[in-house]
Amino acid sequence: AQKVTQAQTEISVVEKEDVTLDCVYETRDTTYYLFWYKQPPSGELVFLIRRNSFDEQNEISGRYSWNFQKSTSSFNFTITASQVVDSAVYFCALGNYGQNFVFGPGTRLSVLP
Amino acid sequence: GAVVSQHPSWVICKSGTSVKIECRSLDFQATTMFWYRQFPKQSLMLMATSNEGSKATYEQGVEKDKFLINHASLTLSTLTVTSAHPEDSSFYICSARGGMGGGTLSGNTIYFGEGSWLTVV
C-alpha cells in the first residue's frame, strides 16, 4: 500500500524565518514520483516540484529547496526567508505512471508578519 | 500551457437536488481524469478514476450511484452529485492526464483543476 505522512499538522513562523516541512512516504514500487503542491486559501493546487525515485539530487528554486533521501523515504521541503504569501496548506504526494496521486494530510503553514 | 478548467467554482444547492461539476482540459486530450474530494482541513481523497469512453472506477466507500461520473469526450469529464445532502458539502477537484509540462509522470502530465466548492443547504 502507498502512504504519505506529513507529521506536522500546523506550523507557525515569523516572516523571514526558515521553515522545513516534512514528508515521509511508503511504497513498494521501485519507480515512483514525489510531488509537493501548495494550496492557498482559494483552494486550487499549485504545482511546486516533481521528483522521480531515481533522482536523489537536491533541488533549489529561489527560496524553495527540497531534500530527497531515499534511504529514509523522505522528501522534505524547506522555505528560506519565509514570507506572508507563503501561508498555505502544503501537500506532499506520491504518484506513479497511470495511477492516481496519494496525498499526505497536508501541513498548514502560517507565516506571521 | 495546458490548463484544466473546472466549473462552477462555487455552487450552493438545496438538499435533495443534483448538481453537476465540469472538468475540462482546455488544450490537450485527457485520456484519464481523476476526481478528488477534500473535506475541511483534511487531505484530498480520490473518489474515482474515469477513462474516456468507459465506466469510472470508484474508490472503496464512494457511492457510484450518488456520484455519477461521465467522461464522454477526451476533453470533458463531469461529476454529478445526485440527491445532495449537507454532508456532501466539500471541495471537489479534478485532475487530468495528458499534454506536456507541470506535474509530469513518465511523459504524461497531471494537471489539476481549480476546484469546486459545493455547499448543500
What average pLDDT does the segment A27-44 reach?
88
Per-residue pLDDT band at A82 (split at 50, 70, 90): very high
Mode of pairing for the β-strands spanning B32-38 and A33-39: unpaired
A-B C-beta contacts closer than 8 Å: 55
Contact check, Cβ <8 Å, B110/A101: yes
Tell me the nearest-neighbour CA distance from B12 into chain A, angstroms: 17
What average pLDDT does the segment B105-119 reach?
78
Chain A contact residues (CB < 8 Å to B):
33, 35, 37, 42-45, 47, 50, 91, 95-98, 100-106, 108
What average pLDDT does the segment A8-28 reach?
96
| Contacting residues of B for A95, CB less than 8 Å apart | 103, 105, 110
CA distance A55 to A69: 10
Query: Which of B44, B49, B113 has the CB atom closest to A103's CB atom?
Result: B44
Which of B110, B114, B118, B119 should be substituted to probe chain A, the one whose Cβ sees the most A Cβ atoms within 10 Å?
A: B110
CA distance B86 to B104: 36
A70 three-class SS: helix
Contact check, Cβ <8 Å, B95/A101: yes
User: What is residue A97's predicted lDDT score, i.e. its pLDDT?
Assistant: 65
pLDDT in tens, B41-84: 788 999 999 988 888 999 999 999 999 999 888 899 999 999 99
Domain-wise residue ranges, chain A: 3-112
Per-residue pLDDT band at B34 (split at 50, 70, 90): very high
Mean of per-residue pLDDT scores for chain B: 87
Query: Which residue of A lies nearest to B33 if distances are taken between CA atoms?
Result: A100
CATH class of A3-112: mainly beta
Query: Which residue of A lies nearest to B51 if distances are taken between CA atoms?
Result: A98
Tell me the nearest-neighbour CA distance from B77 into chain A, angstroms: 16
CA distance B105 to B98: 9
CA distance B98 to B111: 8
The fraction of chain A above a pLDDT of 90, given in percent, is 66
What average pLDDT does the segment A52-78 reach?
91
**Residues paired with residue A19 on neighbouring β-strands, in sequence order:** A79
B80 close to B18: Cβ distance less than 8 angstroms: yes
Tell me the nearest-neighbour CA distance from B105 into chain A, angstroms: 6
Query: Which residue of A lies nearest to B105 if distances are taken between CA atoms?
Result: A97
The fraction of chain A above a pLDDT of 70, given in percent, is 97
User: What is residue B80's predicted lDDT score, i.e. its pLDDT?
Assistant: 97
Query: Which residue of B lies nearest to A6 if distances are taken between CA atoms?
Result: B43
Place of cell 469546486: B116
Per-residue pLDDT band at B108 (split at 50, 70, 90): low
Mean of per-residue pLDDT scores for chain A: 91
User: What is residue B54's predicted lDDT score, i.e. its pLDDT?
Assistant: 84
Residue B1 has pLDDT above 60, yes or no: no
Per-residue pLDDT band at B16 (split at 50, 70, 90): very high
Instruction: For A71-103, give the DSSP string.
Output: GGTEEEEEESS--GGG-EEEEEEEE-TTS--EE
